[in-house]
Structure 1
Amino acid sequence: MGQQENLTLLPMSSSSSSAAAAADAAPSPAASGRLFTAGLVAAWYASNIGVLLLNKFLLSTYGFRYPVFLTACHMSACALLSYAAAAVSASSRAARRQQPTAPRRSRGQLARVALLGAVFCASVVAGNVSLRYLPVSFNQAVGATTPFFTAVLAYAVAARREACATYATLIPVVAGVVIATGGEPSFHLFGFIMCIGATAARALKTVLQGILLSSEEEKLNPMDLLGYMAPVAVILLIPATFIMERNVLSMVTALAREDPSFIWILLCNSSLAYFVNLTNFLVTKHTSPLTLQVLGNAKGAVAVVVSILIFRNPVTFMGMLGYGITVAGVVLYGEAKKRSK
C-alpha cells in the first residue's frame, strides 16, 4: 500500500517541479504588461515621428508641393482602415455569437462630428502646408504651444476656467516660442502663420472632442470618432484638392512613372496617419493621463533631434533655448492642472 502510494506520489512531485520551473521561467503578468505598454509607446513614437518626417520629405525635400492632396490621402487611409477595423471587430463578435453594439447616433451628434471633422481637416492641412516652409524642429516648437490655445479656447467655447497658477504656467510656453522664433535661421512668415493656425485648430479639436466624448448619452471612443470624422474630411478635401491643386493627378502619375517608390512612400505615409491615431488611443488606454502627457512632451523632443539628424537643418542656441523653455512650461502646465483637480 505504501509502495503504491510512493508510485503515485513520484509523478505528482515531478509534475509539480516541472510546473514550478515553468512558472519561474515564464515572465510575470506585471512584467508582460510593462513590456506590452513599452511596445505600444515605441509604436506610437515610430508612427508619429515617421509620418512627420515623411511629410517633410515629400513636401520639401522630394518637391511634392501638394499638401491638400497629401492630407486627402491621409484621411482616405484613416476612413478605409477604420472601416476595415470595424468589419474585423464585427466578424469577431459574430464568431463569438455576441450581439453587435451599434448605438444610434442623433442628428445633433452627427452635426458635431461633422464640425469636428472639418476642424481636424483644417489642422492637418495647415500643418502640412507649414512643413513646406519650416523645419520640423521649429514646427514642433510652435506645436508645443497647444496647451496655451487649448486653455484660451476652452474658456471661449465651453466657459471652462483654469486656476490662476495654471494660466501662469502658460507664460513660459509662449515666451519660449517667441525666443525660438527670434533665433530660427529658417524662419518663414507664411509657414509660421500656417503652423500657428494648425496649432490653434488642433487645440479647438481637442476642446470640441472633449465635449463630444464626455456626453454620457451619446458616448464615442476616439477610434469610433476617427471613423466618423475621416469620411467627412475626405468629402471636404476632394473638391478642395481639385480647386487648389488642379494638376496634382497628372503630377502624381508623372512621379509614379519616373520613380515607382513614390507610390509606396505615399501609401506608407497615409497608412502611418491611421496608426498614429490607433497607437495614441491604445497608449491612452494603457497608461495614465499624466504618463501620456510626459510621453507626449518627450516625443516632441525626440522628433526634433531625429529631424535635425536627418535633414541637417541649422539650429541656434537661442532656438534650442526657446524650445526648452516652452517644453518646461508645458510640463509645469501639466503639473498645475493635476494639482487643481
Structure 2
Amino acid sequence: MQSAAFSLFSPSSIPSLKLGKFGSNPRFDPIRVSSSFSDSKQPDLSASSNAVSIPSLPKRSWSLSSSSAFPLRAWTSVPSDSKADLFEVKATVAESAGEGEKSGSLAKTLVLGLLFGLWYLFNIYFNIYNKQVLKVYHYPVTVSVIQFSVGTVLVVLMWTFNLYKRPKITGAQLAAILPLAVVHILGNLFTNMSLGKVAVSFTHTIKAMEPFFSVVLSAMFLGELPTLWVVGSLLPIVGGVALASVTEASFNWAGFWSAMASNLANQSRNVLSKKVMVKKEVSYMILQRVSPVTHSVGNCVKRVVVIVSSVLFFKTPVLPINSLGTGIALAGVFLYSRVKRIKPTAKAA
C-alpha cells in the first residue's frame, strides 16, 4: 500500500476554519461542501509534538455530495444553475396545464350556452312564425306536411354532402322506428292544430302537462309505478293548467283538446322509445353535454321563454290569475324534473 505521514493531533493544533453562517443562506446544504488540497497548500499536520504516524491515503482531492445529480462547485452551497432552471421549467409547465384546463372549461361552457341560446331562439321563432301562418292559412295538416318535407330534404342533403354520417338501419330497426315516427308526426300535427285555435301561450301552458301523461303511460305499459314525490309534483301541474284554462281569454275546446292530444302523442313516443331503443343510441347535441336533469330544467325554462315572448309579440291579454296558473304549472314541471331523479332507497333484506 502507499503510505504517507498522517497524524492524530490535539484540537488546539487545528487551525480555525470559518465557513460562514449556514443559517443565513436558505439554499445552503452542508452535505454538499467539497474540499480539495493541492500539494503546495496542504497543511503539515505532522509537526505536532503529539503526532503518531499512521498509514494515509494518497494526496488527492476528495468531496462529499448528497446526490450525484447535483454538480457542485468547490466551497459553495449553491446548486448548479441548470438544476435551478429545471425547477422553474417544471413549475411553469404545471401552471400552463392549469391555465389550459381553465380555458378548456370556459370553452365548453360557452359552447353549451350557445347551444341553449340557439335552442330557445329557434323555438321562439318557430312558434311565433307558425302562429302567424296558421292565422291566415287555416290548414294545419298541410302546414305540417310542408314542415316535415323540408326537414326530410335537409337531412338528405346532409347525408349527400357528408355533413352528417348516414346511419345503417336494418329492416328490424326500421320496423321498430316506424311507430315512433308516426306518433312524432301526430304530436307535431296536434300542436299545429292547437296553435291555429288558441294563443301560443295557452298551447304551451297545456303542454306543460306532458309529465302527467308520461307517468300515466309509463305505469300502464312499462309497469313503472310513480313514487309519492312524483305524484306530489304532478298536483301543481294539473292545478296550474286548470286554473290557467278557466281564466284564458282565448279558450277554445278544439285548441284545448288538440294540445292534450299532442301531449298524449309525444309521451307515447317516449314510452315506445324506452321499449324498442337503448338510451345510448339516441343522442342530441345538448344531451351529450349535460345531465338529464339539466336538460329537463332547460326544457322547462324554454317553455317559459316561449310563453313570455309570444305574449309580448302578439300582445296577448293576460289576467293576473291566468299568469298565476301558468306559473304554478311550470313550477310543478320544474319540481317534477328534480324529484324524477331521486332514486328510491333500497330496502334491507
Q: For the residues of structure 1 that align with 2:264 and 2:252, how far apart are their CA atoms?
A: 18
* Residues 293-341 of structure 1: per-residue CA shift (max 9 Å, x gap): 1111111111111001110111111211111111111122122111126
Offset, 1:170: 0.8
**Residue 45 (structure 1) aligned with residue 120 (structure 2):** yes
Q: What is residue 240 of structure 2 aligned with on the other side? A: 176
Q: For the residues of structure 2 that align with 1:77 and 1:92, how far apart are their CA atoms?
A: 17
Which structure 2 residues correspond to residues 265-304 of structure 1 after superposition, within 5 A?
281-304=284-307
**Residue 57 (structure 1) aligned with residue 132 (structure 2):** yes
Contact 2:158 2:164 in 1 (8 A): no
**Residue 309 (structure 1) aligned with residue 312 (structure 2):** yes
2:263 to 170, 185, 199: 199
- With over 3 angstroms needed to count, the CA separation of the structure-2 counterparts of 1:339 and 1:313, relative to structure 1, is same
- With over 3 angstroms needed to count, the CA separation of the structure-2 counterparts of 1:147 and 1:24, relative to structure 1, is closer
Query: Which amino acid is the alignment partner of residue 141 of structure 1?
Result: T
* Residues 75-121 of structure 1: per-residue CA shift (max 9 Å, x gap): 112222222223344x788xxxxxxx8545243x3222111111111
Higher relative helix content = 1
Q: What is residue 73 of structure 1 aligned with on the other side? A: 146
Q: For the residues of structure 2 that align with 1:207 and 1:26, how far apart are their CA atoms?
A: 40
Q: For the residues of structure 2 that align with 1:120 and 1:303, how far apart are their CA atoms?
A: 21
Contact 1:183 1:319 in 2 (8 A): yes
Offset, 1:168: 2.1
Q: Which structure is richer in relative contact order (CA contacts within 8 A, separation 6 or more)?
A: 1
Partner SS for 1:186: coil
TM-score normalised to the size of structure 2?
A: 0.67
Q: For the residues of structure 1 that align with 2:167 and 2:229, how far apart are their CA atoms?
A: 43
Contact 1:134 1:188 in 2 (8 A): yes
Q: Which has the larger radius of gyration?
A: 2
Q: For the residues of structure 2 that align with 1:92 and 1:185, how far apart are their CA atoms?
A: 45
Aligned pair count reads 260
Q: What is residue 322 of structure 1 aligned with on the other side? A: 325
Which structure 2 residues correspond to residues 1-341 of structure 1 after superposition, within 5 A?
28-60=103-135, 63-89=136-162, 103-107=168-172, 109-214=173-278, 220-222=281-283, 281-340=284-343
* Residues 224-270 of structure 1: per-residue CA shift (max 9 Å, x gap): xxxxxxxxxxxxxxxxxxxxxxxxxxxxxxxxxxxxxxxxxxxxxxx
Q: For the residues of structure 1 that align with 2:170 and 2:265, how far apart are their CA atoms?
A: 25
Q: For the residues of structure 1 that align with 2:170 and 2:311, how far apart are their CA atoms?
A: 45
Contact 1:171 1:329 in 2 (8 A): yes
Q: For the residues of structure 2 that align with 1:26 and 1:159, how far apart are their CA atoms?
A: 45
Contact 1:183 1:317 in 2 (8 A): no
Contact 2:233 2:335 in 1 (8 A): yes
- With over 3 angstroms needed to count, the CA separation of the structure-2 counterparts of 1:185 and 1:28, relative to structure 1, is same
Q: For the residues of structure 1 that align with 2:210 and 2:295, how far apart are their CA atoms?
A: 15
Offset, 1:211: 2.6
Q: For the residues of structure 1 that align with 2:282 and 2:159, how far apart are their CA atoms?
A: 13
Structure 1 stretch 116-125 or stretch 201-210: which is displaced more? 201-210
Give 5+ residue unaligned stretches, structure 2: 1-87, 345-349
- With over 3 angstroms needed to count, the CA separation of the structure-2 counterparts of 1:340 and 1:190, relative to structure 1, is same
Q: For the residues of structure 2 that align with 1:24 and 1:325, how far apart are their CA atoms?
A: 44
Contact 1:44 1:283 in 2 (8 A): no
CA RMSD after TM alignment: 3.1
